[in-house]
Structure formats: structure tokens, C-alpha cells
Amino acid sequence: MIKIMFLHGFTSSGDCEIADTLRKELDGIAEVVAPDIPLHPYEAMDVLQDLCGEQQFDLIVGSSCGSFYGQQLVRFTTLPAILVSPFLKMTEFLEPRIGIHEYKSPRKDGQQQFEITPELIAEFAWMEAHQFDCYDPFNRDRVWGMFGSQDTLAHFRNLFTEYYPKAIDFDGPHTMTAGNVHQDLVPAIKQMLAEVTPVRERYFRHFKGGKYRLWHIAKDSETQERMVVYQALYSKHGYWVRPERMFFERIIRDGDTFPRFAEIKKEDL
């Protein structure tokens, strides 16, 4: 069965209305896994990347802050993604809301309050500034955005389309209603599942020309840093290890910015 990872908004949980509606609408078609996302952004990304490594998802669907995370996960996982109302500048949401708040849906750990602090905003500011550091044009058509005509919170369509061309309009608010999920999101999911699939075998071209196959994502036993294990497809076909963030990052050479390792199709080897 198809497996979808749904990423909820900042004030929500995996038990929110969108996730529940997706489960009902896609019953018998897809399993919808909707984890409770940690409050702090770098912890959240660690948890989500680990979950992607543990389970073989076919698609990411994010809403609001979940889309902020989903966009970054695409490059690390090859999973296609639908980003609903992507909140690409989370600091704009957080800065006017310093203080204690209630989650809008129940969380599995029973914690229903959270606090927005200047320190939390600073964490999001750093991630926000670096959210496209690992962008690769290979994924341009593998990420779709959905934008509500009544969205009064997030206005990042122009920023989204600087990187990804497919923007879908729907008649609804920032947080999709059950009706929007039925009328707009589910058809988009079915279309993406039919047109775009995860890349299970991954190949890359280093900016100096060498070609490689990515084999595994591993963790350093001492630091827990995520590492890429990859193999040269030339000479002695040796195996190499490099920090994940460095492997996937964009670099600057002679005024040009491009991926250190650009993803390529197997047929382009």
C-alpha cells in the first residue's frame, strides 16, 4: 500500500482534522502516517529524517510549518512533496506570538501547551535563512505548492515559485477544511502519486565531474552526525563517507552557486 507522511502545522498535531480527513479519504488506497512534530526545528528535522529512514514513504504532504520542513526533506529523501500553504518564513508567524499557547489538537505525549520564546524564534531564523541551502534543480518538478485564496497568514507564493514551478490554487483558508481536503488535496495527491515517484536508487555528479551512487545514510557513533555513504563509479569504485549536510549543500565557485553533488538520473550515467 502507498504510504504518505503528513506534516502538520505549528500549533497542531498528527491528530488534526487534515490528517484525520486524509486517513478517511484515502482508506484502502494509502496509509497516512502523521507524527507529532517536536517544537524545536532542528529536533523536528532530526525526528522526521529518522522516520523517513525507518519507513519507505511514497509522498510527503505538509501543511503550513509542516511544509517548511517538507521542502527541506525532499532533497535528503528524494520523496516528492505537496506543500499546502507553505509558511516559508516562520519567524513572521512567531515574533508577534511570544508567550504560552495551547495546541489545537491532542498530542500523544499529553503535552497541550507550548511556549514561543526569543530563543525558539532564533532557532527558526537560522533554519529559515538556510532552508534552500540544499536545493537541487533535480527536484523542481517533484515539489508542488497549494495556495488558498482566503489565506490571511502565509504569503510566500512568489518565494516558492522561485524554486518550484507548480503552484495550485484552491478556494479556502490557510488551514485546509475537510471540504478542501476532499475537493482539492486528495485529487492533487492522487495526481502526484500517478505522475511522480520516489527515487529509490540515487546517483550524483560531483561538481568536478566524478559520478557516484549513494548507498546509505549512517550516523557517527560518537557525535550522532548524519553521514552519507557513497561509492565512486569510476577507477577502483571506492566507498566514501561525508557529512550529510555537506554532501547535499550548495557551494559557490567563481560567483556561481550550484550543488556540490548534483542529483542525476540513472540513465544519465
Domain boundaries, the chain: 2-195, 202-268
The CATH architecture to which 2-195 belongs is: 3-Layer(aba) Sandwich (3.40)
Tell me whether strands 143-148 and 239-243 are parallel, antiparallel or unpaired: unpaired
* Res 152: pLDDT: 97
CA-closest candidate to residue 32, choices 17, 10, 11:
17
Q: Which residues of 238-248 are buried (b: 16+ CB within 10 A; e: fewer)?
A: eeeeeebeebb
Contact predicate 71/83, CB 8 Å:
yes
* Res 124: pLDDT: 98
Contact predicate 25/186, CB 8 Å:
yes
Write out the three cell numbers for 171: 478556494
pTM for the whole structure: 0.96
CA-closest candidate to residue 62, choices 160, 133, 137, 152:
160
**Is the alpha carbon torsion for 209, 212, 217, 218 positive or negative?**
negative
Written as tens digits, the pLDDT of the chain (269 aa) is: 999 999 999 999 999 999 999 999 999 999 999 999 999 999 999 999 999 999 999 999 999 999 999 999 999 999 999 999 999 999 999 999 999 999 999 999 999 999 999 999 999 999 999 999 999 999 999 999 999 999 999 999 999 999 999 999 999 999 999 999 999 999 999 999 999 999 999 999 999 999 999 999 999 999 999 999 999 999 999 999 999 999 999 999 999 999 999 999 999 99
Write out the three cell numbers for 108: 500523544
Report residue 241 CA to chain centroid gap: 24
Contact predicate 136/72, CB 8 Å:
no
Report residue 165 CA to chain centroid gap: 17
CA-closest candidate to residue 63, choices 39, 89, 83:
83
CATH classification code of 202-268: 2.30.30.320
